[in-house]
Structure 1
């Protein structure tokens, strides 16, 4: 799993995930700009109903995108604070090797392909991480009816 030192992998994973988040944030900003243009271009219909429903739809889309933007911005800040030093137990910043794959306890970005390997970036609040919290390599836990053995912690 670890072709490089864990510190290098964690740093590169963080940089890769930050770049993904930045791309998504830029896309949201672009969509918000397009919605503002659509809202400004919306002409008052003599009947009024069509105009109001169109503006309400645009407003709902803007509200949703604003929430996504705020959530991703917060995730970006949290990711920058995740420790990247080597650790011996499951905690914030731990890089885990499990039979089901590689996990980095950081923020809930999801799957990241990097260096020929796939990593799941999850928060410390994920059910699996909560079940493994504080454990070290070789420890096992029953998780959703399956025995999960922690192969490596870095």
Structure 2
């Protein structure tokens, strides 16, 4: 398995685990709302229930964001080779590996650390379209492209 495939699989695993965790939180909130209905009365009931609904809305938004991230990952072409940096590229720079996919941050593999970043991020935008041997400057830091997978 190539490094790019390992990184991609780890990204999918991370997002899938987060989806599972958020789904459990949503299930717990639904149960809490149902129990709140049964166990309290008056203004206290209304306040507690409203707070639970607000929390449920926030967690539902997290779930929507995670599902969007998963969809973005699934759209990436893992076999497409390119001479330039594109979405889905694993870029070897003089500062380490960068995976232009979704914003997950550092991903630790057995022998390597890779930063998963969005192509829409400031650094992602500057890397898009670069070729091996080219470089970009971001906040005073130079990133030289040494390889593209």
TM-score (norm 1): 0.86
Q: Partner residue of 1:26?
A: 20
Tell me by how many angstroms 1:83 deviates.
1.3
Aligned residues between the structures: 146
Pairwise CA RMSD: 1.6
Q: What is the 5 A alignment of 1:1-154?
A: 8-42=2-36, 43-45=39-41, 48-85=42-79, 86-154=81-149
Structure 1 unmatched ranges of 5 or more: none
- 8 Å CA contact retained: 1:14, 1:80: no
Tell me by how many angstroms 1:153 deviates.
1.8
Tell me by how many angstroms 1:111 deviates.
1.7
1:116-142 Cα deviation digits (max 9, x unpaired): 211111121011121122111211222
- 8 Å CA contact retained: 1:97, 1:151: yes
Q: Which moved more, 1:95-104 or 1:28-37?
A: 95-104
SS in 2 for 1:17: helix
SS in 2 for 1:83: coil
Tell me by how many angstroms 1:151 deviates.
2.2
